[in-house]
Amino acid sequence: MQEAKKFRRIGVLTSGGDAPGMNAAVRAVTRTALARGVEVMGIYNGYNGLINGEMKLLDARDVSDILQRGGTMLYTARCLDFKTEEGMARAIEACRENKIDGIVACGGDGTFRGALDLTRRGVPCVAIPCTIDNDISSTDYSIGYDTAVNTVIQMVDRLADTCQSHLRCSVVEVMGRAAGHIAADAGTATGACAIAVGELPVDMDKIVARVKACKEAGRHHFIVMVSEGAGVTQELTAKIEKETGIETRATVLGHVQRGGTPTVRDRVIATRMGHKAVDLLLEGRSNLVVAMRKDDITAVDIEEALRMTKSVDRSLIEMNEEISF
């Protein structure tokens, strides 16, 4: 097998914020490579582990029973050293010493930049998009999003129960960094009275009016979904309570959104992307991010992927406004 001669050993790492489904991707990368006669070095703690030589060869059993687990068995980190010339030189040297011919890097934009730098210095890399934020422009879907958004709606359904009992309002802040995809989808899926995201101007008076209108329409619970990027959670909570007279609580869901067993969507897409990443490397292709377009798994040049932008689905927010009263 010509491919196996060129790639005798590949590395796999997870970097940046963890996302449910990362383990499924690591498993798919490992098993695909092993099935093609290529060894797999599991690199721990993201690019830190590459710099510090924290790695071990993985066999098929090392990745047993991880498909269904959240988090990442390889651990993860955000690595500042990797951005320095010295750190990069140590990483290249570690690849040479450990006979790593190429790397599959799972993570978000920061991970892609690391993969780009490594590829430019002669270590072929393919990246797999993993982030609950679903803000990676080159792909319709990033691993972890479906699980996260399902976790959010479970939590919000519970909040709605207690709001219902007390005739209260809950302002729920969800993750997403600057992106409002989680807020838009989870707000729609829970019938929130209003959805506020950082990408669009937040009109707090309008949100107050919507909560009032929901009360007048006979609603007994009032959920206002806010993305962390909107940056208005506390101010909006105080304003709603003051101007509507409805007792209002803020709930910041936080890191609970990043954990938990991955959904079928995350497991299947992670498996397909992991398989594809190894295919690409062994075909001699690199400097790519695996991407999902419609239902196809394809790949995009990393530089191009980093240049692209993705916008929040404004029509979803507007539709929710029209029907949630």
From CA 322, how far away is CA 174, in angstroms rounded?
Answer: 22
Q: How far is the CB of 214 from ligand F6P (least distance, A)?
A: 28
Binding flag, residue 17, ligand F6P (CB under 6 A):
yes
Q: Which stretch binds ligand F6P (CB under 6 A): 24-32, 128-136, 210-218, 234-242?
A: 128-136
Binding flag, residue 176, ligand F6P (CB under 6 A):
yes
Among 27, 221, 258, 267, binds ligand F6P (CB under 6 A): 258
Instruction: Provide the 10 A C-beta neighbour count for residue 158.
Output: 11
Q: How far is the CB of 225 from ligand F6P (least distance, A)?
A: 15
Q: How far is the CB of 167 from ligand F6P (least distance, A)?
A: 31
DSSP 175-204: --TT--HHHHHHHHHTT-SEEE-TTS---H
Question: Phi then psi for 80, rounded to 5 degrees?
Answer: -80, -35
Binding flag, residue 180, ligand F6P (CB under 6 A):
no
Binding flag, residue 133, ligand F6P (CB under 6 A):
yes
Binding flag, residue 131, ligand F6P (CB under 6 A):
yes
From CA 271, how far away is CA 299, in angstroms rounded?
Answer: 15
From CA 16, how far away is CA 75, in angstroms rounded?
Answer: 10
Three-state DSSP at 17 gives coil
How does DSSP classify residue 300? Answer: E
Q: How far is the CB of 253 from ligand F6P (least distance, A)?
A: 10
Q: 172 vs 214, which CB is nearer to ligand F6P? A: 172
From CA 144, how far away is CA 257, in angstroms rounded?
Answer: 10
Binding flag, residue 151, ligand F6P (CB under 6 A):
no
Among 175, 186, 226, 278, binds ligand F6P (CB under 6 A): 175
Site size toward ligand F6P, by CB under 6 A: 9
Q: 71 vs 124, which CB is nearer to ligand F6P? A: 71
Binding flag, residue 177, ligand F6P (CB under 6 A):
yes
E-assigned strand segments in 22-140: 39-43, 55-58, 102-107, 125-129
Residues with Cβ within 8 Å of 295's Cβ and at least 6 positions away in sequence, in order, are none
135 catalytic, yes or no?
no
Question: 18, 101, 117, 133: which is the annotated catalytic residue?
Answer: 133
Question: Phi then psi for 192, rounded to 5 degrees?
Answer: -60, 145
Q: Interface residues with ligand F6P (CB under 6 A)? A: 17, 131-133, 175-177, 228, 258
Write out the catalytic residue numbers: 133
